[in-house]
């Protein structure tokens, strides 16, 4: 843009020190647009206020977000509907006789001899031993249907991850809200607690908690523990404790900024009690930040459950979870049946990706709303 | 909450503020935000509190209402509301007063409404906090409140969120929220500062109208003498945490004694001024409230300053008219004051030159 060589003389004048000062004249067009508006009850409402329809921004979700939503709906639907899906029993090994009766035995040539293979263990889409007829996604190392195990595995994995983050959400969220709202000594103590928990490596903390909480072998191996002490629930407690400081700190930080807002003071000036202000005024504003971190947290918890399975403290077999499917048959990855590891790994990968993406979407929408205020 | 606590028969003034001091302990030292302020307010009357930013207006209002954060707060003196002492009450005890007796309107309607709560909800929350009424009835009350603050289509607005309203509308909603439980005393902390000039007068008129209808007392805080002119019964001018001049509104504008009041008034641009007239300013800055200067706090910026002003702090002296008080050794409009100003112009004191140039030395 070329700089105007000469300003018209009326747009400059001398200031007190004799320097020329540029006087910006508001253009008439600007003034006219400001005056446009409706007169309601004697008050001029500018056009901008009338046209600001927040819904215009709200329903713009990208393709990526929709893909993520569809994927998550698929996974959650799969987990919930597992018993009525036509995938069979995840814990059942089909006998060789049954396979032969169904005509699913295959004849393979090995060492110059023809061998009839009726065991479908470790046979799958990528296995050396050929496909496993009847088993859509092949069989695992024990000859169980991978499809069934993945579907039921989704159930366990999502249950454990969601449950764990819910524990963090409820406990971390309320502690963070209290710390941020009241501040002072309460804040110092609670933040200190969060920091102590955060200073312990997460996986070691979870490992220690699982070992500590798991039913002792002396209690009798054959007896099923009550539901609240099942291996899934113990994983929920352990990962939940790890999630508490994460959600606690995010909630505290958001609460800190929101409780400085004037509407909190205004509510106090109207005689509202602290509990009401925290729950009715502050929490709804903090919730988007919490929700965003919750989605990310579920993704991390799914991976954490897998890591704990590989360390041998995951969901107890034969109950399948995505993590323990990988853990149990990880030896097959390099010995001819990589599908057993790759299938659950793919599910974990796409699910974690979707949750991360959705977390970002939630945060972005939260920002949009902030800007709209 | 028993009704006997707020007896309607109480005869004295609604609010008596006596020597209120509000200090904050900080790392730098004790900040003396409000340093011995006294005033009384009768039912249905308005007092305007005027001063530049940082002079302690807002802190005074929040201190009287007991809304300040308690950490590092030193609050002394006496605040009597209908004869009952408020200083020393816990927030739990204050809750009996907040909303139903004392209410406050804040400066910025953008931040004083909850962005994620519907208008109707924000008003009914306030109603139901104090009155034991059904939700449906509370909503009807909210609608009539919105109508009384002149919001068009109140029924529809109940379902709106704050960001769907303009600034003026939002401040009306804030007024409706503050009025919801029928307070006897309303603090309005710069209620129109964040609004367009065109809307300012409407909102102020609306507040005056509601005040008349409800026979409510009001403390109107502003930095703009123009806002309180004609709306306040009494005006108190604050500087550095103290009241430096207090008078019935008509007396103050006719017969101001304090140079600070004069400087404030002359810094309002006049329509009659030619364009590009230099704005009259008050040179310098308000004093550091941690280490306020000895003597008169306004002395370093005053056009009338003499040696004595830096040594001794002037007490509140009664003026000629009833209810007029001011803190000055060389008051405006007196022979001593005129001499002092003349001497300062001769010495080419910047403040005196500004005042002389502004040519607003009205008597």
Domains of chain B: 13-236 (3.40.50.300), 258-358 (no CATH)
CB distance from A281 to chain B under 8 Å?
yes
Mean of pLDDT values over A344-356: 93
- Is B70 an 8 Å CB contact of chain A? no
Q: With b meaning 16 or more CB within 10 Å and e meaning fewer, what string describes B251-284?
A: bbbebbbbbbbbbbbbbeeeeeeeeeeeebebbe
pLDDT at B51 over 80: yes
Structural domain spans, chain A = 63-87+145-372, 93-143
Chain A neighbors of B168, CB-CB under 8 A: 43
Contact A218, A193 (CB under 8 A): no
A270 vs B103, B117, B162: nearest CB: B103
Tens digit of pLDDT for each residue in A287-332? 988 988 899 999 999 999 999 988 888 888 888 999 888 888 888 8
Span B227-247, pLDDT tens digits: 888 889 999 999 999 999 999
Domain A63-87+145-372 falls under CATH 1.10.3720.10: yes
Alpha helices, DSSP H only, in B219-283? 225-228, 249-254, 259-266
Whole-number mean pLDDT of chain A? 77
Average of per-residue pLDDT across B211-236: 90
Residue of B72, B114, B194, B275 to mutate, testing the A interface (most A Cβ within 10 Å of its Cβ):
B114
Taking a contact as any Cβ pair under 8 Å apart, which residues of chain B between 275 and 334 contact chain A?
276, 278
Question: If you average pLDDT over residues B131-153, what whole number do you get?
Answer: 87
CA distance B220 to B61: 9
ipTM rounded to 2 decimals: 0.82
Weakest-pLDDT range from A113-122, A271-280, A295-304: A113-122
| A214 has a pLDDT exceeding 60 | yes
Own/partner pairs for B274-279, CB < 8 Å, 24+ apart?
B276/A13, B278/A16, B278/B357
- Which whole number is the average pLDDT over A248-269? 90
Task: State CA B322 to chain mean position distance.
Answer: 22
pLDDT at A222: 60
A57/B contact by beta carbon, under 8 A: no
CB-based burial label for A215 (10 Å; 0-12, 13-18, 19+)? middle
* Residue A111 scores a pLDDT above 80: no
- pLDDT band, very low/low/confident/very high, at B264 (cuts 50, 70, 90): confident
| Alpha-carbon dihedral angle through residues A340, A346, A348, A352, given to the nearest 10 degrees | 170
Question: Is it the case that residue A44 has pLDDT exceeding 90?
Answer: no
B136 pLDDT higher than 70 = yes
pLDDT at site B80: 92
Q: How far apart are CA A231 and CA A210, in angstroms?
A: 9
Mean pLDDT of B279-299: 84
In A, minimum Cα distance to B70 occurs at A184
Contact indicator for A240, A167 with CB cutoff of 8 Å: yes
> From the CA of B152, how many Å to the nearest CA of chain A?
7
Question: What's the confidence (pLDDT) of residue A127?
Answer: 57
| β-strand partners of B347 | none
Q: Which candidate, A127, A97, A366, places its Cα nearest to that of A257?
A: A366
Query: Would you state the pLDDT for residue A240?
Result: 93
Nearest chain A residue to B115 by CA distance is: A373
With bands split at pLDDT 50, 70 and 90, how would you rate the model's confidence at A252? Answer: very high
Asked whether the predicted pLDDT for residue A51 surpasses 80, the reply is no
- pLDDT value at residue A123: 67
Q: What is the per-residue pLDDT across A71-100, written as a single tens digit (0 to 9) for each?
A: 999 999 999 998 888 777 787 776 666 666
Q: How many residues does chain A have?
A: 373
Interface check A345 vs B, CB under 8 A: no
Q: What is the pTM of this model?
A: 0.75
Percent of chain B topping pLDDT 70? 96
Q: Does B202 touch chain A (CB under 8 A)?
A: yes
Q: Among A142-156, A165-179, B24-38, B110-124, which range has the highest average pLDDT?
A: A165-179
B327 vs A15, higher pLDDT:
B327
3-state secondary structure at position A357:
helix
Burial-class residue A226 by CB neighbours within 10 Å (0-12, 13-18, 19+).
Answer: exposed
Distances (CA, A) of A158 to A141, A162, A295: 23, 6, 12
pLDDT tens-digit readout, B295-307: 888 888 888 888 8
Tell whether B95 lies on the interface with A, counting CB pairs under 8 A: yes
Highest mean pLDDT of the ranges A163-172, A209-218, B305-314: A163-172
CB contact under 8 A, A284 and B116: yes
Asked if pLDDT for residue B3 goes beyond 50, the answer is no
**B110-127: average pLDDT:** 87
Count, in order, helices (H) and strands (E) of chain A.
Answer: 15, 6
pLDDT at A31: 41
């Amino acid at each position: 843009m070329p700089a105007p060589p000469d300003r018209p003389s009326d747009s400059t004048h001398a200031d007190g020190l004799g320097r020329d000062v540029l006087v910006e004249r508001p253009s008439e067009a600007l003034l006219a647009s400001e005056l446009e508006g409706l007169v309601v009850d004697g008050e001029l409402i500018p056009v901008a206020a009338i046209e600001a329809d927040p819904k215009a921004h709200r329903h713009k979700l990208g393709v990526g977000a929709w893909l993520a939503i569809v994927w998550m709906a698929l996974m959650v639907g799969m987990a919930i509907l597992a018993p009525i899906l036509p995938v069979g029993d995840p814990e059942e090994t089909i006998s060789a006789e049954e396979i032969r009766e169904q005509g699913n035995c295959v004849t393979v040539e090995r060492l110059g001899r023809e061998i009839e293979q009726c065991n479908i263990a470790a046979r799958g889409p990528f296995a050396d031993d050929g496909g496993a007829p009847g088993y859509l996604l092949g069989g695992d190392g024990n000859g169980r249907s991978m499809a069934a195990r993945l579907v039921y595995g989704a159930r366990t994995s999502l249950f454990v991850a969601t449950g764990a983050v819910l524990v963090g959400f409820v406990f971390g969220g309320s502690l963070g809200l209290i710390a941020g709202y009241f501040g002072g000594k309460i804040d110092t103590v609670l933040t200190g607690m969060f920091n102590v928990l955060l200073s312990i490596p997460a996986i070691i903390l979870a490992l220690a908690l699982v070992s500590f909480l798991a039913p002792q072998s002396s209690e009798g191996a054959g007896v099923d523990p009550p539901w609240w002490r099942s291996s899934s629930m113990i994983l929920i407690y352990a990962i939940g404790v790890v999630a508490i400081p994460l959600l606690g700190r995010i909630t505290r930080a958001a609460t800190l900024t929101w409780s400085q807002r004037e509407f909190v003071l205004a509510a106090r000036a109207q005689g509202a009690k602290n509990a009401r202000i925290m729950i009715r005024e502050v929490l709804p504003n903090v919730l988007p930040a919490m929700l965003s971190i919750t989605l990310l947290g579920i993704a991390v918890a799914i991976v954490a459950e897998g890591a704990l399975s590989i360390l041998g403290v995951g969901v107890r077999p034969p109950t399948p979870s995505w993590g323990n499917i990988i853990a149990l048959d990880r030896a097959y990855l390099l010995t001819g049946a990589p599908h057993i590891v790759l299938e659950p790994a793919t599910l974990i990968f796409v699910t974690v990706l979707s949750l991360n993406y959705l977390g970002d979407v939630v945060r972005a929408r939260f920002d949009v709303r902030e800007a709209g205020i | 909450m028993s009704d006997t606590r707020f007896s309607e028969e109480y005869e004295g003034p609604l609010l008596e503020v006596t020597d209120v001091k509000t200090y904050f302990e900080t790392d730098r030292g004790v900040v003396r935000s409000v340093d011995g302020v006294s005033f009384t307010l009768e039912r249905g009357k308005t007092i305007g509190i005027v001063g530049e930013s940082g002079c302690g207006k807002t802190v005074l209002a929040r201190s009287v209402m007991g809304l300040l954060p308690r950490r590092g707060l030193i609050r002394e003196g006496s605040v009597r509301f209908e004869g009952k002492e408020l200083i020393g009450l816990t927030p739990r005890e204050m809750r009996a007063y907040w909303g139903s007796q004392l209410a406050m309107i804040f400066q910025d309607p953008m931040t004083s409404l909850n962005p994620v709560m519907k208008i109707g909800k924000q008003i009914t929350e306030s109603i139901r906090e104090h009155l034991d009424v059904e939700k449906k009835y509370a909503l009807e009350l909210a609608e009539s409140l919105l109508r009384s603050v002149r919001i068009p289509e109140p029924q529809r607005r109940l379902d709106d969120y704050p960001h769907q309203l303009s600034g003026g509308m939002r401040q009306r909603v804030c007024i409706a929220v503050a009025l919801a439980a029928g307070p006897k005393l309303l603090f309005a902390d710069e209620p129109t500062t964040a609004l367009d000039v065109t809307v300012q007068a409407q909102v102020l008129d609306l507040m005056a109208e509601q005040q008349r209808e409800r026979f409510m007392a009001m403390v109107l805080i502003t930095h703009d003498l123009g806002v309180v002119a004609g709306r306040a019964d009494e005006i108190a001018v604050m500087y550095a945490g103290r009241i430096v001049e207090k008078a019935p509104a008509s007396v103050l504008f006719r017969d101001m004694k304090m140079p600070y009041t004069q400087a404030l008034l002359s810094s309002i641009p006049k329509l009659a001024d030619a364009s590009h007239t230099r704005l009259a300013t008050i040179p310098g800055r308000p004093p550091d409230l941690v280490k306020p200067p000895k003597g008169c706090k306004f002395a370093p910026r005053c056009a009338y300053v003499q040696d004595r002003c830096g040594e001794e702090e002037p007490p509140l002296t009664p003026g000629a008219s009833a209810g007029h008080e001011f803190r000055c050794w060389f008051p405006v409009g007196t022979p001593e004051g005129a001499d002092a100003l003349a001497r300062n112009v001769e010495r080419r004191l910047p403040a005196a030159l500004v005042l002389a140039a502004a040519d607003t030395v009205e008597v």
